[in-house]
């Protein structure tokens, strides 16, 4: 892929580029908690987008996506929403750098890779964080990784219009090989936990169903969480987000909640607790307990937060029936996308065969199944 991106860039733009890798991410546990100032446990993966980028002397921007085989041209003074979606993630980053007052010029960009698009591994954050990292290097801005993550997040919030949290961009930029990050999404600090177990594999199973509802329903869920916080703030004035809420607090004031809003809030509080407990499991090397928490997370996403789908549920159920599977759950925004499973290495072939057969029998579709490693975050391949 590196050579394909390099050659496409040099053929189109007749110059030598800076080459970067920007990974997709997994999230072992802690779903829909980041925008509630909670905890998450993601890592960067070996599935990457490769960027070839070069600065220009003017303000023109020429963009090329290998995966879509589409060109898009604009300039820094006339950034505008595209009829395609992919240019907006890049334009949003350029827009944020300009709004923040950073001195950037035009760029030529070609990019492509093997992060599934819409498959729950956050290809969008790989685009945004990859370009933010590239701009920082090309224009010698000397910004730290947290600043880059925040700029990438604002690009998606404001230009693309999805009110996502910080997790995807943060994990993309701070990833380390063989380590996952427990991110505190309120204070924007993290701790690393080892996750380099030769006897275990992380498997991503892609439904092949793209998330038509994800953007709109994501914003609805966020609004419902904010509704719950406003109700509780009448009794706890110092409360800022669901991060500060206990199940006892929710139970005490349940009568004031719309039942659906209560369910959403209860899920977030429980999921935050699960992340804390899962980190203790990692320190004890208790992966059986860790896997059970993944299963509990899926049930909460399915029944309380209601962001799963029949296809996701089918993949989780099929995976959970395979001996050697420690845990499985949907991952990402939901309504399609993918599942993540923790599987004993000796069980991988049986997992692939049985999950594929069960999914094909029910849907007529073959799921894409990826065995992934926890790898480094966005990085320069060749300057």
Span 146-198, pLDDT tens digits: 999 999 999 999 999 887 889 999 999 999 999 999 999 999 999 999 998 89
Same-domain pairing of 94 and 136: yes
b/e 260-297 (16+ beta carbons within 10 angstroms → b): ebbbbbbbbbbbbbbbeebbebbeeeebebbbbbbbbb
Residue 217: predicted pLDDT = 86
Residue 250: predicted pLDDT = 98
Same-domain pairing of 109 and 251: no
Residue 325: predicted pLDDT = 99
Residue 120: predicted pLDDT = 74
Report the C-alpha dihedral over residues 310, 311, 314, 315, rounded to 10 degrees: -150
* DSSP-assigned beta bridge partners for residue 338: 206, 331
Calpha distance 255→259 (Å, rounded): 9
Residue 211: predicted pLDDT = 65
The pLDDT tens digits of the residues spanning 293-324 come to 999 999 999 999 999 999 999 999 999 999 99
Calpha distance 272→290 (Å, rounded): 14
Same-domain pairing of 288 and 332: yes
Task: Read off the pTM.
Answer: 0.91
Q: Is the pLDDT of residue 370 over 80?
A: yes
Q: Is the pLDDT of residue 283 over 80?
A: yes
Residue 116: predicted pLDDT = 77
Same-domain pairing of 189 and 206: no
Name the phi and psi angles at 26, rounded to 5: -105, 160
Residue 383: predicted pLDDT = 81
The pLDDT tens digits of the residues spanning 80-91 come to 999 999 999 999
The pLDDT tens digits of the residues spanning 105-142 come to 999 999 999 887 776 788 999 999 999 999 999 999 99
Residue 214: predicted pLDDT = 64
Same-domain pairing of 70 and 8: yes
The pLDDT tens digits of the residues spanning 27-43 come to 999 999 999 999 999 99
Same-domain pairing of 183 and 112: yes
Q: What is the CATH number of the domain that holds 239?
A: 3.30.70.890
Calpha distance 226→188 (Å, rounded): 20
For residue 254, count other CB atoms closer than 10 A to its CB.
Answer: 12
Q: How many domains does the chain have?
A: 2
Calpha distance 153→145 (Å, rounded): 12
Q: What is the CATH number of the domain that holds 81?
A: 3.30.230.10
Domain range for 23: 2-194+375-382
Note the residue count of the chain. Answer: 383
Q: Tell me the pLDDT of the chain averaged across its residues.
A: 95
Stated as kind and residue range, the H or E segment containing 366 is none
**Is the Cβ–Cβ distance between 29 and 193 less than 8 Å?**
no
State percent of the chain over pLDDT 90: 89
Same-domain pairing of 135 and 207: no
**Is the Cβ–Cβ distance between 27 and 41 less than 8 Å?**
yes
Positions marked active-site: 168
Same-domain pairing of 162 and 304: no
Q: What angle do CA 350, 341, 117 make, to 5 degrees?
A: 105
């Amino acid at each position: 892929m590196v050579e394909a991106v390099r050659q496409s860039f040099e053929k189109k733009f007749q110059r030598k580029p800076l080459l970067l890798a920007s990974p997709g991410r997994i999230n072992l546990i802690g779903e829909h908690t980041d925008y509630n100032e909670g905890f998450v446990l993601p890592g960067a993966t070996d599935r990457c987008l490769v960027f070839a980028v070069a600065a220009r002397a003017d303000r023109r921007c020429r963009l090329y996506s290998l995966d879509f085989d589409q060109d898009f041209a604009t300039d820094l003074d006339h950034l505008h929403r595209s009829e395609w979606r992919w240019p907006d993630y890049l334009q949003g980053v350029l827009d944020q750098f300009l709004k923040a007052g950073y001195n950037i010029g035009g760029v030529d960009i070609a990019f492509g890779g093997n992060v599934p698009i819409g498959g729950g591994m956050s290809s969008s954050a790989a685009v945004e964080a990859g370009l933010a990292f590239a701009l920082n290097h090309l224009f010698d801005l000397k910004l730290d990784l947290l600043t880059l993550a925040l700029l990438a997040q604002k690009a998606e919030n404001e230009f693309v219009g999805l009110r996502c949290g910080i997790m995807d961009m943060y994990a993309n930029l701070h990833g380390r090989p063989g380590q996952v990050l427990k991110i505190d999404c309120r204070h924007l600090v993290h701790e690393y936990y080892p996750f380099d177990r030769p006897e275990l594999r992380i498997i991503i199973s892609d439904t092949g169903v793209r998330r038509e509802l994800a953007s709109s329903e994501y914003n609805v869920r966020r609004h419902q969480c904010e509704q719950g916080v406003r109700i509780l703030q009448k009794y706890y004035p110092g409360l800022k987000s669901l991060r500060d809420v206990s199940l006892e607090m929710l139970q005490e004031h349940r009568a004031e909640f719309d039942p659906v809003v209560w369910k959403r809030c209860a899920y977030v509080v429980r999921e935050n607790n699960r992340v804390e407990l899962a980190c203790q499991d990692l320190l004890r090397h208790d992966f059986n307990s860790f896997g059970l928490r993944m299963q509990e997370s899926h049930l909460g996403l399915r029944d309380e937060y209601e962001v799963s789908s029949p296809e996701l549920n089918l993949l989780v159920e099929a995976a959970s029936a395979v001996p050697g599977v420690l845990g499985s759950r949907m991952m990402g925004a939901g309504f399609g996308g993918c599942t993540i499973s923790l599987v004993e290495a000796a069980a991988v072939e049986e997992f692939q065969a049985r999950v594929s057969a069960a999914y094909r029998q029910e849907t007529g579709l073959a799921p894409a199944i990826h065995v992934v490693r926890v790898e480094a975050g966005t990085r320069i391949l060749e300057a």
